[in-house]
């Protein structure tokens, strides 16, 4: 099965010129993020020409059999507009180029059975992989975009060896005959979690621009305490994720904040920047120790980033997401009460999960047995303070009620 099918990344989008002008300047980038300039090219913030390009891409994709429009018989479209726009932005609204990457991605998803992988992956395999890549803190920036943290020093030779030793266990029964390395199958599943659980959940929560779905993430990358040899040994591990994102999950990165860079980091940066297109590299900021707290605070409330970086969030590397109150309320049926010493906050269920707005699907397998279960989202009328995200006050909407007497699998 092919791993990466997309051609080289496109050059910078003229529509994103304002974004690119903030290259390596966190102050300018924060100013852009504080307004609505960052929404250019996103759903409900399109020019007339961009609207036409979106319609053209959907028509071309439908003609080629890669897109099904909404209809009475089929229901909603096969792909939402926010997804199609990611491919258009990645290819500077060149319809043919966007279709080429979209087609490659759809072929890749089919050939690698991505949906079946996410549904059937072993929960322990998934959890082992989660600990080796950027982890969602459970919080969002001021725009509602999820905040991830990646602490590189934990990926030492001992931990990497321990992780590699788990590859003998089948990642998913549906993929036992796959020629794709287990490490990549697991990585595919993690990206699916971002796309199909974290982003839809964050889109449902209060934020300044609720008319535009959340389609990206912020990443705090902590490289403190990492030597040149460790960087070199991890080169392939980190490159896997960046190449995958560029090829098949375009426009899912909002910002990367690199913290704790050692004196030799310019050498490492020389490798890393080759993995990304020019627009993406303009979103990567290498922060000095003095810049960390003020820069992060300019993008997110202190309650939304960990204490070790000057914030107020109680979250350590390896922890499950520490959801804020509105998020906990929305997915309360898959959040458990803390138990035992060291448990400081309610814990989200481990393993693959889907968030579908009105439903949550628990996926994955434990000891070879499916734990698939569909739960209705239990919504309530939110109080005014619960409908505010980092200072934004959105209109309150009465929400429906659902049956609370539903059991949730505790095995993970």
Tokens at 185, concatenated: 């199958």
Instruction: Give one DSSP letter per residue of 158-206, joined into a string.
Output: HHHHHHHHGGGS-SBGGGTT--S-HHHHHHHHHHHHIIIIIHHHHHHS-
Instruction: Please report, rounded to a whole number, the percentage of residues in the chain having pLDDT higher than 90.
Output: 64
Instruction: Give one DSSP letter per residue of 225-238, joined into a string.
Output: T--HHHHHHTHHHH
Per-residue confidence (pLDDT) for residue 18, from 0 to 100: 43
What are the structural domains of the chain?
14-40+112-393 (3.40.525.10)
| pLDDT tens figures, 29-86 | 777 777 888 999 999 999 999 999 999 999 999 999 999 999 878 789 999 999 999 9
Tokens at 300, concatenated: 């997110």
Per-residue confidence (pLDDT) for residue 5, from 0 to 100: 42
Q: Of 385, 277, 375, 269, which Cα lies nearest the Cα of 330?
A: 375
Distance from C-alpha of 317 to C-alpha of 136, rounded to nearest angstrom = 10
Distance from C-alpha of 29 to C-alpha of 22, rounded to nearest angstrom = 5
Q: Of 1, 6, 2, 3, which Cα lies nearest the Cα of 247?
A: 6
Per-residue confidence (pLDDT) for residue 95, from 0 to 100: 98
Per-residue confidence (pLDDT) for residue 194, from 0 to 100: 97
- Average pLDDT over the chain reads 85
Range list of H helices, 215-288:
228-233, 235-248, 265-272, 278-281
Per-residue confidence (pLDDT) for residue 23, from 0 to 100: 45
Q: Of 202, 218, 281, which Cα lies nearest the Cα of 253?
A: 218
Per-residue confidence (pLDDT) for residue 7, from 0 to 100: 44
Q: How confident is the model at residue 344 (pLDDT cuts 50, 70, 90)?
A: low
| pLDDT tens figures, 295-333 | 999 999 999 999 999 999 999 999 999 999 999 999 999
pTM: 0.86
| pLDDT tens figures, 250-284 | 999 999 999 999 988 888 888 778 777 777 788 88
């Amino acid at each position: 099965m092919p791993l990466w099918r997309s051609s080289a990344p496109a050059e910078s989008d003229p529509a994103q010129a304002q974004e690119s002008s903030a290259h390596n300047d966190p102050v300018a980038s924060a100013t852009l993020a504080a307004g609505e300039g960052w929404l250019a090219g996103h759903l409900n913030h399109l020019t007339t020409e961009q609207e036409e390009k979106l319609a053209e891409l959907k028509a071309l994709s439908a003609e080629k059999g890669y897109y099904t429009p909404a209809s009475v018989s089929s229901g909603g479209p096969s792909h939402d507009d926010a997804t199609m726009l990611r491919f258009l932005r990645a290819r500077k609204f060149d319809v043919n180029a966007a279709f080429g990457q979209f087609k490659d991605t759809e072929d890749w998803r089919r050939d690698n059975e991505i949906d079946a992988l996410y549904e059937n992956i072993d929960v322990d395999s998934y959890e082992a992989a989660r600990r080796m890549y950027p982890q969602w803190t459970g919080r969002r920036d001021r725009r509602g975009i999820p905040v991830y943290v990646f602490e590189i020093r934990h990926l030492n030779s001992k931990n990497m060896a321990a992780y590699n030793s788990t590859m003998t266990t089948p990642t998913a029964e549906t993929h036992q005959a796959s020629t794709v390395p287990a490490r990549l199958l697991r990585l595919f599943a993690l990206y699916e979690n971002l796309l199909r659980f974290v982003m839809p959940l964050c889109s449902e929560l209060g934020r300044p621009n609720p008319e535009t779905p959340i389609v990206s993430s912020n990443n705090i990358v902590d490289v403190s305490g990492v030597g040149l040899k460790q960087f070199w040994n991890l080169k392939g591990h980190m490159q896997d994720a960046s190449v995958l994102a560029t090829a098949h999950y375009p426009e899912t990165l909002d910002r990367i904040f690199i913290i704790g860079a050692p004196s030799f980091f310019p050498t490492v940066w020389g490798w890393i920047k080759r993995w990304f297109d020019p627009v993406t590299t303009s979103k990567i900021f290498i922060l000095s120790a003095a810049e960390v707290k003020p820069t992060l605070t300019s993008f997110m409330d202190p309650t939304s980033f960990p204490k070790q970086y000057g914030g107020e969030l109680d979250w350590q590397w390896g922890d499950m997401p520490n959801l804020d109150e509105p998020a906990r309320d929305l997915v309360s049926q898959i959040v458990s009460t803390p138990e035992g010493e060291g448990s400081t906050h309610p814990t989200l269920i481990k393993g693959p999960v889907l968030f579908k707005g009105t439903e949550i699907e628990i996926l994955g397998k434990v000891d070879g047995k499916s734990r698939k279960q569909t739960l209705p989202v239990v919504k309530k009328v939110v109080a005014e303070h619960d409908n505010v995200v980092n200072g934004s006050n959105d209109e309150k909407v009465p929400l429906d009620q659902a049956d609370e007497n539903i059991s949730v699998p505790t095995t993970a």
